[in-house]
C-alpha cells in the first residue's frame, strides 16, 4: 500500500479529514487537481459545531486569528442601497460578544465555541499549511484523479501529474471532490432532489474603503450580509478581511454585475472585480455515500443552497465522523459496523440539512416575492410596499440566519454503533435543547475549575461518572478495553453537569456523540462494548 487512505479533493472537507486522520496516525495522501488553493468566494462562516470540532483538533485559535476580527458585528440587513435607511436590521452578536455570553452561561444551551466568519480562500491555505506539518500526511496539489478500481484488499487510483500518469494504492479512498465529484460518478451514484433552482452570478470585489465608510449617510451600519430588496436576488456579503466583498445577483454579464455593485453601494467608491462566475442553486443528496472501500463526503454527497450555512459545515462533520472510524478500522479494533455506520449516520443528517436549506430558502423567497416596482416611491403605496416586505422579512429572513438546532441538535438515529432507544427529542432546525439522548452531541458544560467538559474528553471512548455516583464503571471500561479500543473513565463531581446530562453514567465516543447512558452499569457490558466498537451482530 502507498497509504492507508487516499483523499481526492483538498477543500475544507478533504483537508479536515486528512488532518484528523494524520493526527490519528493513519498514513494519508491528499490529492488536488488545482496547483494551489483558489482565491474564489465560497463559504464564509464556520458554524458553532464546526468550531467545536476545530477546537478539539487544536485549530480554533489559528482559525480565529486568520478570520474576521472578533469585535465586528454580524448583523444582517434588508436594504435598498447602503446609503439609504435600512428596511430591516437583524442583530447578531460579534464573536467576542458571543464568547462572553458563553462564559456567563452554564445550562448546556450554548456551544463551547461560537461561529467564526472566515472566507474559504483564507481557510483552505491555513488547513493546507497544518496538514503539511503532519508526518503521516502527503499533500499533493497539481494531481488529478482519473479513475479507480477496487478489490477486497484495497483501492487503486489512477492519477495524473505534470510528470504523467501513475497509480496510487490505498486501503481506502474518500472522494471529497465537490458537487461534480468524479469519484461519485465513477461509482455510478446519482443525486436526488431539486437541481438548477435559480441561476445567478457571484462576483468577488476588493473595495478597501467600504467597511470604514459604513454607515453611509442614513444607511445601515457595519454588518455581515446586506440583502437588497429587488427583483434580482441581489445580496452583498462582507468577507473576512473587511476589504473583500461578494455580490450575488441575477445578471447575465460582468458589466451588469459591476452596475449592480454600484447600485448596491449607492455612492462612488474605488473597487476592483477579482472574479465573476455563474452558479446555480441546488438541493441535492447522493443516493449512497460510497461503495465498498470508497467513501464520499462533503459537496460530493450533499448540495445545498447556502441559506443557513450548512454546506461546508456539513462536510466538516462528515469528515470527523469518517476519520475516527477509518482510523479505528485501520488500527484493528474497529468492527465492521463502524464503517457501515458512516452512511447510516451522515446521510440522515445530509437529508435533514437539505431540508433545512429548503426551509430557509423558501423563507427568503417569501419576503422577496413582496417586492414591487414602487418600492422606492415616496408615496403611501411605496411606503406600504416597504413596510409589508420588512415585516415579512423580520419573520422569514431569520430562517436563514438562525439554525442553531441544525448545527448542534442533530442526533444519529438507528445507528448500529449507538445503543438506540425508541423515541427521542424532535429534530429542530432553529432551536437547540441540550440532551444526552443516545446519538446526540454531548452538550457543552463548564466545570467548577473553569474548564469545559469537552476539553477533558480525549480522542478515545470516555465513560463519564457524574456528581460522585457510586455506580461502578469498571466492567464497561474493561469490556471496551478487551475490544482493543482506547477508553478512560472520567469522574465529574460537578452537580451542574449531572443536572444537565440527567444520568450518572454516560458513554461518549471519540466524536463527542453519546453511545449509551444510565444510572447504573449496563446489564450486558460486553454487548454495549460490542455496539460501541462496531462488533455487535444483531439477532
What is the arithmetic mean of pLDDT over 339-347?
98
In this model, does residue 80 exceed pLDDT 80? Answer: yes
Q: How far apart are CA 282 and CA 287, in angstroms?
A: 15
Q: Say if residue 533 is exposed, middle or buried (CB neighbours under 10 Å; 0-12, 13-18, 19+).
A: buried
Distance CA 237, CA 227 (A): 9
Taking the alpha carbons at both ends of the chain, their separation in whole angstroms is 36
Averaged confidence pLDDT in the chain: 97
Tell me the domain boundaries of the chain: 3-68+116-192+284-341, 69-114+198-280, 411-532
Compute CA 162 distance to the chain's CA centroid, rounded to the nearest angstrom: 33
Q: How far is CA 154 from the centre of its chain?
A: 29
Q: How many helices (H) and strands (E) does the chain have?
A: 17, 22
pLDDT of residue 537: 83
CATH code reported for the domain at 3-68+116-192+284-341: 3.50.50.60
Class of domain 411-532: alpha beta
Helix intervals (H) in 369-425: 380-396, 398-401, 404-408
List the one residue out of 414, 424, 434 whose CA is nearest residue 512. 434
Q: CA 283 to CA 285: how far, in whole Å?
A: 7
Cα separation of 305 and 355, whole Å? 10
Q: Which contacts (CB < 8 Å, 24+ apart) does range 482-485 have?
A: 482/529, 483/333, 483/335, 483/529, 483/530, 483/533, 483/535, 484/331, 484/332, 484/333, 485/328, 485/333, 485/334, 485/460, 485/461, 485/529, 485/532, 485/533
- H or E element in which residue 321 lies: helix 311-331
Task: State the average pLDDT over residues 128-148.
Answer: 98
| Structural contact between residues 53 and 317, judged by C-beta atoms closer than 8 angstroms | yes
According to DSSP H, which parts of 132-226 are helical?
182-187, 210-213
User: Among the residues of 4-159, which ranges form H helices?
Assistant: 12-23, 48-56, 60-66, 95-103, 120-131
For 32, the 3-state DSSP assignment is strand
What are 9's three cell numbers? 479533493
Average the pLDDT over 390-414 and give the result: 97
pLDDT bin (cut points 50, 70, 90) of residue 58 is very high
pLDDT of residue 40: 86
Question: Cβ-count burial of 179 within 10 angstroms (0-12 exposed, 13-18 middle, 19+ buried)?
Answer: middle
- CA distances to 65, 180, 288, 348, 515 from 351, rounded to whole Å, are 33, 18, 12, 5, 22
DSSP 8-state class, residue 443:
P
* Beta bridge pairs of residue 517: 506
Which three cell numbers mark 228? 437588497
Is the pLDDT score of 33 beyond 80?
yes
Strand, coil or helix: what is 21? helix
Given CA atoms 167, 172, 174, 175 in this order, what sign does their dihedral have?
positive
pLDDT tens for each residue of 464-507: 999 999 999 999 999 999 999 999 999 999 999 999 999 999 99
Q: Is 368 exposed, middle or buried (0-12, 13-18, 19+ CB in 10 A)?
A: buried
pLDDT band at 539 (very low <50, low <70, confident <90, very high): low
What are the tens digits of pLDDT across the range 268-287?
999 999 999 999 999 999 99
Query: Does 259 score more than 60 pLDDT?
Result: yes
pTM above 0.85, yes or no: yes
What is the per-residue pLDDT across 221-242, written as a single tens digit (0 to 9) for each? 999 999 999 999 999 999 999 9
Q: What pLDDT score was predicted for residue 301? A: 98
Q: Are 314 and 347 in contact (CB under 8 A)?
A: no
- Given a contact cutoff of 8 angstroms between Cβ atoms, the answer to whether 65 and 215 are in contact is no
User: Rounded distance, CA 523 to CA 521, Å?
Assistant: 6
Separation CA 362–CA 342 (nearest Å): 30
Beta carbons within 10 angstroms of residue 399's beta carbon: 21
365-386 pLDDT tens trace: 999 999 999 999 999 999 999 9
**For the chain, what's the residue count?**
539
Could you read off the pLDDT of 5-23 as tens digits, one per residue? 999 999 999 999 999 999 9
pLDDT at residue 42 in the model:
86
SS3 content of the chain, % helix, strand, coil (to 5): 35, 25, 45
Assigned CATH for 69-114+198-280: 3.30.9.10
Q: Residue 117 in contact with residue 67, Cβ under 8 Å?
A: yes
Q: What is the pLDDT of residue 149?
A: 98
Q: Which segment of 19-28, 78-87, 305-314, 379-388 scores lowest on mean pLDDT?
A: 305-314
- pLDDT attached to residue 495: 93
**pLDDT computed for residue 120 by the predictor:** 95
Nearest to 399 by CA among 360, 364, 369: 360
153-182 tens-digit pLDDT: 999 999 999 999 999 999 999 999 999 999
Predicted confidence at residue 512, as pLDDT, reads 97
Amino acid at each position: 500500500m502507498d497509504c492507508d487512505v487516499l483523499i481526492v479533493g483538498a477543500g475544507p472537507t478533504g483537508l479536515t479529514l486528512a488532518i484528523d486522520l494524520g493526527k490519528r496516525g493513519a498514513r494519508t495522501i491528499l490529492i488536488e487537481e488545482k496547483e494551489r488553493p483558489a482565491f474564489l468566494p465560497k463559504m464564509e462562516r464556520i458554524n458553532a459545531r464546526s468550531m467545536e470540532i476545530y477546537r478539539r483538533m487544536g485549530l480554533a485559535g489559528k482559525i480565529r486569528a486568520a478570520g474576521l476580527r472578533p469585535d465586528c458585528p454580524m448583523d444582517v440587513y434588508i436594504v435598498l442601497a447602503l446609503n439609504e435607511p435600512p428596511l430591516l436590521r437583524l442583530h447578531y452578536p460579534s464573536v467576542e460578544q458571543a464568547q462572553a455570553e458563553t462564559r456567563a452561561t452554564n445550562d448546556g444551551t450554548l456551544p463551547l465555541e461560537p461561529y467564526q466568519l472566515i472566507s474559504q480562500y483564507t481557510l483552505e491555505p491555513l488547513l493546507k499549511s497544518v496538514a503539511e506539518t503532519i508526518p503521516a500526511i502527503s499533500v499533493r496539489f497539481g494531481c488529478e484523479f482519473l479513475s479507480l478500481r477496487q478489490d477486497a484488499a484495497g483501492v487503486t487510483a489512477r492519477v495524473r501529474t505534470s510528470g504523467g500518469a501513475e497509480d496510487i494504492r490505498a486501503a481506502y479512498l474518500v472522494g471529497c471532490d465537490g458537487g461534480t465529484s468524479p469519484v461519485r460518478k465513477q461509482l455510478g451514484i446519482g443525486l436526488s432532489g431539486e437541481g438548477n433552482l435559480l441561476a445567478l452570478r457571484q462576483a468577488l470585489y476588493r473595495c478597501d474603503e467600504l467597511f470604514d465608510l459604513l454607515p453611509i449617510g442614513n444607511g445601515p451600519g457595519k454588518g455581515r450580509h446586506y440583502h437588497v430588496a429587488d427583483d434580482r436576488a441581489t445580496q452583498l456579503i462582507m468577507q473576512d478581511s473587511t476589504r473583500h466583498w461578494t455580490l450575488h445577483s441575477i445578471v447575465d454579464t460582468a458589466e451588469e454585475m459591476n452596475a449592480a455593485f454600484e447600485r448596491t453601494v449607492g455612492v462612488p467608491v474605488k473597487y476592483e472585480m477579482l472574479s465573476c462566475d455563474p452558479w446555480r442553486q441546488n438541493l441535492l443528496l447522493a443516493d449512497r455515500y460510497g461503495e465498498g472501500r470508497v467513501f464520499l463526503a462533503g459537496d460530493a454527497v450533499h448540495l445545498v443552497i447556502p441559506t443557513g450555512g450548512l454546506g461546508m459545515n456539513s462536510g466538516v462533520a462528515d469528515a470527523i465522523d469518517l476519520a475516527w472510524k477509518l482510523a479505528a478500522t485501520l488500527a484493528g479494533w474497529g468492527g465492521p459496523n463502524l464503517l457501515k455506520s458512516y452512511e447510516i449516520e451522515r446521510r440522515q443528517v445530509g437529508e435533514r440539512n437539505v431540508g433545512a436549506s429548503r426551509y430557509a430558502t423558501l423563507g427568503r423567497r417569501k419576503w422577496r416575492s413582496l417586492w414591487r416596482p414602487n418600492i422606492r416611491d415616496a408615496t403611501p403605496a411605496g411606503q406600504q410596499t416597504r413596510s409589508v416586505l420588512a415585516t415579512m422579512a423580520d419573520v422569514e429572513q431569520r430562517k436563514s440566519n438562525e439554525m442553531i438546532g441544525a448545527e448542534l441538535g442533530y442526533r444519529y438515529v438507528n445507528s448500529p454503533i449507538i445503543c438506540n432507544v425508541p423515541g427521542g427529542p424532535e429534530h429542530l432546525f432553529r432551536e437547540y435543547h441540550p440532551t444526552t439522548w443516545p446519538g446526540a452531541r454531548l452538550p457543552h458544560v463548564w466545570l467548577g475549575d473553569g474548564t469545559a467538559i469537552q476539553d477533558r474528553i480525549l480522542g478515545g471512548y470516555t465513560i463519564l461518572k457524574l456528581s460522585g455516583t457510586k455506580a461502578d464503571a469498571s466492567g464497561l471500561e474493561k469490556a471496551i478495553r478487551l475490544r482493543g479500543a482506547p477508553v478512560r473513565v472520567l469522574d465529574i463531581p460537578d452537580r451542574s453537569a449531572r443536572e444537565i446530562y440527567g444520568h450518572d453514567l454516560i458513554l461518549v465516543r471519540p466524536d463527542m456523540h453519546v453511545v449509551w447512558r444510565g444510572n447504573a452499569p449496563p446489564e450486558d457490558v460486553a454487548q454495549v462494548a460490542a455496539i460501541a466498537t462496531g462488533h455487535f451482530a444483531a439477532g
